[in-house]
Chains A and B, each alone.
Chain A
Amino acid sequence: MASKEEIFKELAEGVVEYEEDQVREAAQKALDEGIDALDAIMDGLAAGMEEVGRLYDSNEYFVPEVLMCADALYAGLDILRPHVPEEDAAGKGQVVIGTIQGDVHDIGKNLVKMMFDVGGFTVHDLGRDVPLENFVKEQLRTDSEIVAMSAMMTTTMLGMKKVIAMIKEKNPDVAIMLGGAPVTKDVVDLFGADGYAESAGNAVSEGIKMIGRLRELRQKEKQS
């Protein structure tokens, strides 16, 4: 019988080595052994993704590797997530996410989405090339706390400004996150958004750091 720590290690290593089958097996094993599913997500899958972030920051991994690690993480998440108790999953919040009209690049968006999925958010993914008003409609329909938009190219970035104005007009409390290659701190300030990630690469680093913070919070919650 594998110990809890061994199973967490198998999950983490499976993510780092992008071994989807290993992650699936370890996730199933975690459930069979009666391990808390959220613990397995946070201390197994998310811990592995944190290591991926470190490898990315040190130029050992690049985006192809990170995408495969993300696939491995989802292989585990698909098995574990349905077993997270309602009271743990609820209250994490909802996010509307998509790439802006005119932009068909969605790698960065998908990596940020992964971060929300790991964090237990309910994600409303609008996909790519999304007409501006659809962000507003979906936020109103779902009453999501966060709207995350991505634009890979300068040529589509300006659409974000309009969406932010439309959403803030209707609901000033919504947090707006922007991502994409042309998005800088100046742009975020200028457009009135609340946070940003400047590239798929930056989304990897920042998204994974946020996963790290979620893990820390969970540790504190468990200790208190």
Chain B
Amino acid sequence: MAELNPKERVARLFRREAIDTMPCFSGMGMVTIQAIREMGIRFAQVHTSAENLAGSAIKSAELFGFDSVVIPYDMGTLAEALGRGISLYDQSEDILYPTVPEKWGDLDEVEVPDNYLSNARMPMVDEGFGILNSKSNNGQFAVGAWVLGPFTFAGQVIELDLLLKGVKKDKERVEAFLTKMTDITIEVAKHYQSLGVDYMTVREMGSGTDLLSPRMWKTLIKPNLERIFAALESPTINHICGSTDMIVEMMNDCGADAVSVDQKNNMAESRKKLGNDTIILGNFDPYGTLCQMEASEVEAVIKKCIDDGVDAVWPGCDLWPDVKDENVKAYVRTVKEYGKKASPAVGRLT
């Protein structure tokens, strides 16, 4: 049996072509504290330098055998480029992700600058992708990028409660605002694709049914996601965390190549609903599994994801960087060994 390199393995998975074994990868951040320590830097330093950003992704993948490298890590790069500022917590010794301090207080205040792709840390992220691409020419890693979905991104730049109440009380203006956020999402995602990334995840994480009704999801979220996936090149992934059981079929109708959900989803049921042709990714709790559990418990969690019908085991969110060494090793080992058998949508090379 031919052994594929990570880049080929991931590419073939999204084309639903037979692979040698399940890749161990994600569409979200996989940076680990072990990599950061080995580089001799602090977590706060990875967000502001292309070398540290790309270097920590590569180092994490090398240390543990991940098939992918994914940047950036924080959700504030684009909001910052739109002029909303950034809190980097750069004096902190702890693991604190950057956040957006100044949201627009009202829809009337929203003003999008023309040059946002070249503002703030956006060029640094581009440079990071350049480093990742140059280091993965030999197929050593698949390079992943992600953008927030328009509703989640909107919540980064405007008060979320204004948005949530606005969808009921001020529907037209909120919809127009979300259309604008969708245009921005498409432009950024296309820009990353133009840099040569191997797959693109759209994270509409704030839109699960913990917050929105399925009906609201259908009218407010779905049309914008459909427009995004129609505008992007394959492969694309539609990721939502939180409660997704009631919307997973609509997620699959948005036009992405794969659907990704977190541990709140009933995966076995989702597989039944979506059938065996759909690529489904998920769905373990990264913090619980890799930071809290005993290493001996990890294998069962990963096996359950595979037995429930995922085509690749994805964490439900970014890995929390302070992972236990042995837990990550058990996760990677189980994915690669137990993932040798075919998954519902993706066969195996014989």
Contacts and interface: CB of A to CB of B under 8 A. Distances in A.
B164 A63 contact: yes
A102 B99 contact: yes
Given A155-B320, A156-B96, A102 B89 contact: yes
Given A102-B89, A154-B320, A62 B287 contact: no
Nearest to B320: A154
Nearest to B76: A104
A181 to B, nearest CB: 7
Given A104-B99, A158-B94, A62 B167 contact: no
A39 interface: no
Nearest to B159: A106
Interface size class of A (residues with CB under 8 A): 20 to 34
B300 interface: no
Interface in A182-196: 182, 184, 186, 190
Interface stretch (B179-187, B209-217, B250-258, B274-282): B209-217
Interface in B157-171: 160-161, 164-165, 167-169
Interface in A104-160: 104-105, 107, 110, 129, 153-156, 158-159
B160 A107 contact: yes
Contacts of A102: 89, 96-97, 99
B45 interface: no
A155 B318 contact: yes
Contacts of A200: 210-211
Given A104-B101, A154-B317, A181-B242, A64 B89 contact: no
A101 B93 CA distance: 13
Contacts of B287: 154, 182
Contact of B168 (A68, A101, A104, A181): A68
Nearest to B156: A104
A68 B286 CA distance: 34
Given A62-B213, A63-B212, A101 B89 contact: yes
The residue among A62, A129, A199, A201 with the most chain B CB atoms within 10 A of its own CB is A62
Interface string B240-262: 00100010000000000000000
B10 to A, nearest CB: 25
Nearest to A198: B210
A155 B95 contact: yes
Contacts of A155: 95-97, 318, 320
Contacts of B213: 59, 62
Contacts of A201: 210-211
Given A64-B212, A129-B101, 7 more contacts: A59-B246, A68-B168, A104-B100, A107-B164, A110-B161, A199-B242, A201-B210
Interface of B: 87, 89, 94-97, 99-101, 103, 160-161, 164-165, 167-169, 209-213, 216, 242, 246, 286-288, 292, 317-318, 320, 322
